[in-house]
Amino acid sequence: MPATPILNLPLVLLSNRGPVSFDRDVSGRTVNRGAGGLVSALSGLAEHLDDAVWVCGASTEEDAVVASEAQGGSILVQTSPYPHVVEDEPDGPSIRVRLVTTDPAAYADFYSVWSNPILWFVQHGLYGRALSPVITLAEHDAFENGYAAVNRVYADAVVDEVRARGGKALVLLQDYHFYLVAERVRELCPDVVLTHFIHIPWPGPDEWRILPAGIRERLLRGLLGSDVVGFHTRRYARHFVLCAQDLLGLDVDLDNLLVFVDDRVVRARYYPISVDTAALEATLSTEDVAGHVAMLRYTFLDGERQLILRVDRTDPSKNVVRGFLAFGALLDQHPELVGKVSFLALLQPSRTDVPEYADYIALIGAVVAEINARHTKDGRQPIDLRMAEDFPLAVAAYSICDVILVNALADGMNLVTKEVAVVNRRGGVLALSENAGAHEELGEYAVTLHPFDVQQMADALYGALTMPLEERQRRLAAAAEQVRTHDVGRWLSDQLDDLAQLAGYL
């Protein structure tokens, strides 16, 4: 939990998805708590403070109704024992939430033109460059009237909340949707302490040159409105400082990760995000998970058989197709493994409105069908591909796999790797891309993958499957220890300690 002195400052959080969202069923309005370690860590922090508000996008129709009822203000949500809105004094942990609505056309340009396709693709190095991206007047307009306009609306909501607290607050901004917010908040509220944490990779200056100079400079200037820009790894933080030097011509101190802008110093820092280990262990011990474990063991692990697992969104950055090609090569080159090793892929369809993502799902299906046709033995197909959202099933599979395959082309951190390290009970091997942020922390316990080299990945999978059990267990225990001592609470408290120092509270 946070360093106590920072608690003297009110807190304003901003993220695209918030801690709760509203829906409607036959019984009336329902409140759902947001899932995931980030939401629980930040909610945990906000619930402990006297004065905190979470600004986020209205993501459902009912959210928009709630926002309009609140007339642009915030609502108070008591989060335990079940989430519900309260009018005055809560009798349990609570959090203030301000749901922001924006013009639907502007939001579409912000989200489905700039944030998800363009920024995500630039930052994960997904563009082939020969033919994409093509930046036309439509993209320029979408930047101005979508990304920049929506950022202004969110920044103004944050400014409103800061001013309501006397103009001095700790402001925590999250992710690539809001690169222009910090600059505007600082301009209007010069006494804030501002940090912006970025959950995805930050590439070097040459990748950013894909974007027009005027746009990339605005994005960087926007971020430099922060006091601290936080990343998962030292590599991304260095890239950010290099971008400030190379693309904006600013003075920097690369060793200490500092950028000198106007009369201020902006710090690039790295705080590797992590998982809520206690919550994960609790999920592991539920009956739901136990039922899945029994079924998975029965299906995949009778006798001497082994299981390779992957759990990912169907995002091209996760490199699912090359992962299957590597598995196909493994079976081609080691026919003795056919019938003995299965590959379970639990994939969650993602961003299917983006053409590249829809095409990618089709390609995954075709590659799996081809490998299964080539290597089916005794009626058993080597790859079991399941497209579904089922977190308990994922946790069950984490606990009994022999190898977790994480071969992302680029991945900010990759929480799946950390989750497997904590809950696996079978000496599971982490087969981990050198381009996943998690590799900086866990690479020494993993089998390293080169995500473009299918042959190297096939060899690495073979090495993982044939590694002596003792060695597997030794590596897994060390990885689990690293994650347990650096869980999501640590991610947050390290940031708050730094900010407390900056604000002169320690």
Residues that bind ligand GDG (CB under 6 A): 35, 199-200, 273, 311, 313, 348, 389-391, 394, 411-416, 419
Smaller CB separation from ligand GDG, 211 or 415:
415
Torsion, Cα of 317, 318, 321, 327 (10° steps): 150
Minimum separation from the CB atom of position 263 to ligand GDG (A): 32
Smaller CB separation from ligand GDG, 39 or 331:
39
| 411: DSSP letter | B
Minimum separation from the CB atom of position 111 to ligand GDG (A): 16
Given CA atoms 473, 475, 480, 481 in this order, what sign does their dihedral have? Answer: positive
Minimum separation from the CB atom of position 202 to ligand GDG (A): 12
Minimum separation from the CB atom of position 168 to ligand GDG (A): 28
Which residues neighbour 87 within 8 Å (Cβ) at sequence distance 6 or greater? 76
Q: Both tokens of residue 123? A: 């930052």
Residue 51: CA count within 13 A, CB half-sphere: 14
Smaller CB separation from ligand GDG, 182 or 397:
397
Single out the residue of 426, 387, 404 nearest to residue 297, CA to CA: 426
Smaller CB separation from ligand GDG, 247 or 431:
431
Single out the residue of 274, 269, 231 nearest to residue 40, CA to CA: 274
Q: Both tokens of residue 260? A: 């000198």
> Containing H/E element for 25?
strand 20-25
Q: Both tokens of residue 273? A: 């995000």
> 3-state class of 50 per DSSP?
coil
Smaller CB separation from ligand GDG, 240 or 505:
240
Minimum separation from the CB atom of position 492 to ligand GDG (A): 12
Minimum separation from the CB atom of position 26 to ligand GDG (A): 25
| 503: DSSP letter | T
Residue 257: CA count within 13 A, CB half-sphere: 17
Given CA atoms 493, 496, 502, 503 in this order, what sign does their dihedral have? Answer: negative
Minimum separation from the CB atom of position 383 to ligand GDG (A): 18
Smaller CB separation from ligand GDG, 58 or 406:
406
CA distance linking residue 196 with residue 224, whole number of Å? 9
Smaller CB separation from ligand GDG, 12 or 416:
416
CA distance linking residue 414 with residue 405, whole number of Å? 11
Minimum separation from the CB atom of position 39 to ligand GDG (A): 11
Smaller CB separation from ligand GDG, 311 or 367:
311
CA distance linking residue 435 with residue 410, whole number of Å? 5
Minimum separation from the CB atom of position 349 to ligand GDG (A): 10
Q: Both tokens of residue 194? A: 């501002």
Single out the residue of 480, 329, 484, 332 nearest to residue 407, CA to CA: 329
Smaller CB separation from ligand GDG, 55 or 413:
413
Q: Both tokens of residue 119? A: 């920024």
State the amino acid at position 402 in one-letter form: D
